[in-house]
Amino acid sequence: MSKERKLFLIVAAVLIVGSFLITTQMENRFYYKAAYVVLQYVVLATAWNILGGYTGYVNFGTAAFFAMGAYTAVALIKTWKPPLYVLLVTGGLVSGLLGLGIGYLTLRLKGVFFSIATLALAVVLQMIISNWSYVGGGAGTAILKPRSVPLFSNYDEFLFFVMAALAVVSVAVAWLIEKSWIGRGMAAIRDNEEAAECMGVPILKLKLFATTVSGALMGIAGAPFSYFVVYIEPTSAFHLDYAVNSLAMPMIGGTTTWLGPLVGAVLVGTAQQIATVTLSSEMNLLIVGSLLVGFVVFAPDGLVGLFGKIRARLAGREA
Amino acid sequence: MLSIEFLLNALIAGLLLGGFYAAMSAGLSLSFGLLDVVNIAHPAFIIFGSYLTFYVNEHFGFDPILAGLVFAVPSYFLGVAVYRIYYNCFEKTGAESLRGLVFFFGLFFLIEVILIITYGVDYRLVRAFYIGKSTSIGSVGIAYRLFVPFLVGGMLAAVLYLFLTKTFFGRAIMGVAQDSLAVQLMGVDPIRIKTVAFGIGIATAVIAGSLLIIIGPVEPTIGREYIGRVFAVTVLGGLGSMTGTLVGGLILGVAESFTSSFFGPSWALAVSFGILLICLAVRPSGLFGR
């Protein structure tokens, strides 16, 4: 195990333990709710970036994968109310399979057509869920949280801890992919798919891997959603915000590294939580939209790229 | 239940709707089909046009179609400005595939949010003497709110067709689509041609918006339902063919009309995406493809 990898694992473990320690100290429930949303975006942005940033296939259907995770959980809760980890695993499995299916689409659909297909997937799935009365149909359904959970004083704190752990795990997954030959192969696909294939990069395998992992992570992020919102309905689970945010955050942070989506999600996510309270939820969407367009136009490499450029310039001046 | 009249009514409603779909997609067929600019924000410009029409209709009693035609002129310049940004930031550097797509998606979202902030999420509608009336031929009813957009939409497609095949500028656009370098060697600046074409595309989107709000009430977020529709029509018709766009629009309109007659309106949306996916899988060049 390399030194870098050891350090990364230690930081990850410290973060998970740290988030548990926070729940023993802090009381205010609002902060847990806000932090949960930000952490959920860390998972979604990181998952989006594995496909969009590394491989170069723009996914507009984050909401589809997220909501499939959420609704798989709802269906299971309605039948036998399994513990949360079962929901996480099955949510990840279902959305992962969905991702695998989308992966086969990349055989025929490139560029904008792939993106529209993912958007189509979200719209069609929303329609199916809206017509499926077992999980509440279009009107939605109420989900009862488990009353108590060991080690935690209430369920919101537990959900916060779970999401914190998921965020750490998903960033770790992105980091591992990026540092391995898989990540380099993906970058080759992003830069020039035909050339990569000619050089012997197993492009289909890598693309399927990217769509599956990306979809599975989004599904896992969605699995606890129904417990978090208590009342789940298709319009909120399939909201376009998930697609826009999970794409805007890596774009703002920087798409080529694991750090970019993390920075973007934490900054933009936190700013959104503040803006929702102080301004309005529409204003916060306006901010995200403007930031997205602004960064794509003026700083295509995101904050990480911008920071790197400034550092390079400073180093040049010193030398 | 399943009578000839029922089928005939569904067919006529579908054809009328289809003419309007063709008008909606004509601009995209121009910018995306011919010039490869992935303007995924096209439906947002349509909704934007609907709201412009709503504004002048509500406050000054303008006729919706007149409003659409008047606003087409400033929207042309809006389109020119958008293309300039797109060209300078993405196309020139060859980064259009990923970032250009995200740029238009961001633009789509921004227009939607701005409309929500200004007008709220309520449905808005316009008033005109022909809305709400209908005529009937035999047992088949024809609502004017569908018939007027059908007429105007058909005329729009026809004008664009004549423009592309008969005028110098139109032929230049076709030329850029076929071989940009050759056009350049003939002394024509392809970027200028593309700018004009994109501007015209946005102008037609705004006209289509005024037709949309005649057909039914509009709210800011319905734009996403039309992403699938406009791209389905454009791809089905064969990218860049005006005849194809018209035929594609009619096919989609009839298919949607039958689906909502037999299975209920909530399934109509799946038709466009279904057509799009099948078309991309089986024949990506469309019915009238080059």
Dump pLDDT digits (tens) for A267-290. Answer: 888 888 888 777 777 787 888 888
Q: How many CB pairs under 8 A join A and B?
A: 99
pLDDT surpasses 90 at B92: no
pLDDT value of position B96: 59
CB contact under 8 Å between B227 and A116, yes or no, is yes
Q: At B254, which amino acid appears?
A: V
Of B95, B267, B273, the CB nearest to A120: B273
B31, B87, B104, B109, best to mutate vs chain A, most A CBs in 10 Å = B109
Q: What fold does the segment set A3-318 form as a domain?
A: ABC transporter involved in vitamin B12 uptake, BtuC (1.10.3470)
Nearest to B26 by CA among B209, B192, B177, B176: B209
Average the pLDDT over A113-119 and give the result.
84
pLDDT value of position A43: 95
Q: Are A19 and A147 in contact (CB under 8 A)?
A: no
B98, B103, B271, B272, best to mutate vs chain A, most A CBs in 10 Å = B98
The C-alpha atoms of residue B64 and residue A124 are separated, in whole angstroms, by 32
**Per-residue DSSP letter, A300:** T
Of A120, A282, A289, the CB nearest to B106: A289
pLDDT per residue as tens digits for the range A50-109: 998 888 888 888 999 999 999 999 999 888 888 888 999 999 999 999 999 988 877 777
Mean pLDDT across chain B, nearest whole number?
86
Average the pLDDT over A124-149 and give the result.
83
Average the pLDDT over A18-31 and give the result.
78
Average the pLDDT over B160-178 and give the result.
87
With cut-offs at 50, 70 and 90, classify the pLDDT of residue B97. low
pLDDT surpasses 90 at A299: no
- Tell me the pairing of strands A141-142 and B134-137: unpaired
Query: What do you get for the CA distance between the two ends of chain B, in Å?
Result: 43
pLDDT surpasses 70 at B290: no
C-alpha dist (Å) from residue A164 to A37, A46, A87, A169, B198: 10, 13, 17, 9, 46
* A111: chain B residues, CB-CB within 8 Å: 38, 97, 101
Mean pLDDT across chain A, nearest whole number?
86
pLDDT surpasses 90 at A215: yes
pLDDT surpasses 90 at A212: yes
CB-side neighbour CA atoms (13 Å) of A237:
40
CB contact under 8 Å between B224 and A123, yes or no, is yes
pLDDT per residue as tens digits for the range B32-75: 888 888 888 999 999 999 999 999 988 888 888 888 899 999 99
With cut-offs at 50, 70 and 90, classify the pLDDT of residue B199. very high
Tokens of B96: 């259009």
Tokens of A290: 């403007």
Nearest to B226 by CA among B284, B276, B269, B275: B269
Whether residue B231 lies within 8 A of chain A, CB to CB, comes out as yes
With cut-offs at 50, 70 and 90, classify the pLDDT of residue A223. very high
Identify the three-state secondary structure at position A142: strand
B42, B105, B118, B219, best to mutate vs chain A, most A CBs in 10 Å = B105
The C-alpha atoms of residue A104 and residue B120 are separated, in whole angstroms, by 40
Of A60, A109, A124, the CB nearest to B273: A124
The C-alpha atoms of residue A268 and residue A120 are separated, in whole angstroms, by 27
Q: Are A263 and A254 in contact (CB under 8 A)?
A: yes
Q: The complex's ipTM?
A: 0.80
Give the rounded percent of residues in chain A with a pLDDT score beyond 70: 99
What are the sequence ranges of the domains in chain A? Answer: 3-318
The C-alpha atoms of residue B173 and residue B165 are separated, in whole angstroms, by 10
Of B114, B117, B276, the CB nearest to A116: B276
Identify the three-state secondary structure at position B49: helix
Of A190, A282, A292, the CB nearest to B106: A292
pLDDT surpasses 60 at B1: no
What are the sequence ranges of the domains in chain B? Answer: 4-282
Give the rounded percent of residues in chain B with a pLDDT score beyond 70: 97
Q: What fold does the segment set B4-282 form as a domain?
A: ABC transporter involved in vitamin B12 uptake, BtuC (1.10.3470)
With cut-offs at 50, 70 and 90, classify the pLDDT of residue A319. low
Nearest to B280 by CA among A184, A110, A178: A110
Average the pLDDT over B203-226 and give the result.
89
CA A195 to chain centre: 30
Phi, psi of B124 (to 5 degrees): -115, 150
